[in-house]
A and B are shown apart, each in its own frame.
Chain A
């Protein structure tokens, strides 16, 4: 088993590109997400018609306002003038028309709500607070556990899956199995070898996220690393399993939508109990669910080992089951 671990580390040492992709590609994607989902100071562009001056003056504090002299055709105006919303008043009351439901429309609505609030302050305004607070102007902070888990899982899955496919089609796997090595040692060596590389990746990703991107981690950074490493081990095992069904590298890539994308749905991006027809229960067969839930509990809720152990146990059971499935699958290449 140790020979395989050493060999994998030696291969990566001589393959700087793969090492770079394993370590730096996730950092690049995270940085990109940080800027895309990070602090947003988008000022919505709202066209108004026939509104009182006081309202428009206040609205200008929250949005870029264009005053119109005549009521235009709404669809044409919004499409042609890059406005996010058209607001007007008639006998029926105040009307707001938006081009489509997106974050720009939401920003326009918020600007109008803020304007109303400023003009008509309530006597006893409802105060909203979250038990587990994240920076409300930074979506990456509130979803960091999803992105950290999914990105790490994805890159490790690709690396280990591709390596297995190459081993099979380059006949090195067959050659390896024509030695007295046990099948458990082959899978163990692979899982440990790529697991160690993934552990390196996990440490780098977490440290980068916490100390460079300044993402919030309410709990222990060390515990986050432990969860990420467990996720990486399950990614290696799934990569190995999926490679059995792929006849070449292209097919391995084609498995990504089947294996990775459904898991993203159960990573915490969508609350599990809002998924209809009981489909949310599928989360229990996806390793990302266990990892991302544990990460959420640590990063957002500040929970410790005593609270997250069931999720860690779930990850470990998953790794164990996949290990034995992979060992059995190797029978295809050697009967003993």
Chain B
């Protein structure tokens, strides 16, 4: 699904969070929103989903203007927090969100079992979420976002707190989804993650300071490190904020 964000502005209590944000990503690509904490990544994600309204500008997803309730059936969202029901088991959490997407039993069970295998949680499916580790919760949260096989995945810092082995596995799976034509938009403040993506936009204080394919962005740096782009713009305080 193509995402088109056109001149979006947003402020909270007179504090400007996003200014004139425009970006486009094509179907079947992994797009990365890179920026420090507080740069406006999550706000932009929430505007894209229709959770909050932009003051100016428009967001179109797959040619449909946001907000649109039917569009949400095509989208999978993973918030920064785990956002799971601690008193329910892994399976029950998946079943609940599948129910909200009105998946029938067979489809749910097929999707759930496939996802549980990908994230190595099949033996733990009956475990209560409150008894799961932080890394496990992250994986469950990712599964919840994908249980209905969305055409667009919006993932807010999906690999934070996940160990390197599992992180690689998740990235492999995301790339497989991309090859199946699914569009993936992730936010991150981890520079290394960007290299896994096709396109990226660098956000700083609510402005996009660079937007291109990852390969082109890297080529614009002297040392091949995207992090340099933040410093090129003259904001040395970003050094402390970015990993």
Contacts and interface: CB of A to CB of B under 8 A. Distances in A.
B219 interface: no
Given A334-B67, A335-B53, A336-B67, A11 B88 contact: yes
Nearest to B80: A171
B173 interface: no
Interface in A164-208: 170-172, 174-182
A7 B72 contact: no
Contacts of A174: 51, 79, 83
Contact of B72 (A11, A12, A179, A333): A179
Given A3-B100, A335-B67, A336-B67, A179 B85 contact: no
B88 A10 contact: yes
Interface in B75-125: 75, 77, 79-85, 87-89, 92, 96-97, 99-102
B87 A3 contact: no
Contacts of A14: 87-89, 128
Contacts of B80: 171
Contacts of B83: 170-172, 174-175
Contact of A180 (B70, B84, B96): B70
A15 interface: yes
A155 B80 CA distance: 32
A15 B128 CA distance: 11
Given A175-B77, A179-B100, A180-B73, A11 B49 contact: no
Contacts of B89: 14
Contact of B99 (A3, A12, A15): A3
Interface string A2-43: 110011001110110000000000000000000000000000
Contacts of A172: 83-85
Given A10-B92, A334-B67, A178 B87 contact: no
Contacts of B77: 175, 178
A144 B79 CA distance: 48
Interface footprint category on B: 20 to 34
Secondary structure class of chain B's binding surface, majority of residues? loop
Contacts of A179: 72-73, 97, 100-101, 148
A3 to B, nearest CB: 3
B68 A336 contact: yes
Interface residues of A, number: 25
A15 B92 CA distance: 14
A336 B50 contact: yes
B132 to A, nearest CB: 13
A11 B87 contact: yes
Contact of B100 (A11, A181, A333, A335): A181
A336 B82 CA distance: 24
Nearest to A173: B83
A101 B33 CA distance: 71
A334 B50 contact: yes
Contact of B79 (A15, A175, A180, A334): A175
B60 to A, nearest CB: 16
B69 interface: yes
A180 B88 contact: no
A200 B48 CA distance: 42
A178 B80 CA distance: 14
B134 to A, nearest CB: 14
Nearest to B98: A3
B144 interface: yes
A194 B51 CA distance: 26
Nearest to A189: B100
A202 B211 CA distance: 60
Nearest to B141: A175
B88 A178 contact: no
Contact of A333 (B51, B68, B101): B51
Contacts of A176: 97, 100
Nearest to A331: B53
6 contacts: A10-B96, A170-B83, A174-B51, A175-B144, A179-B101, A180-B69
Interface of A: 2-3, 6-7, 10-12, 14-15, 170-172, 174-182, 333-336
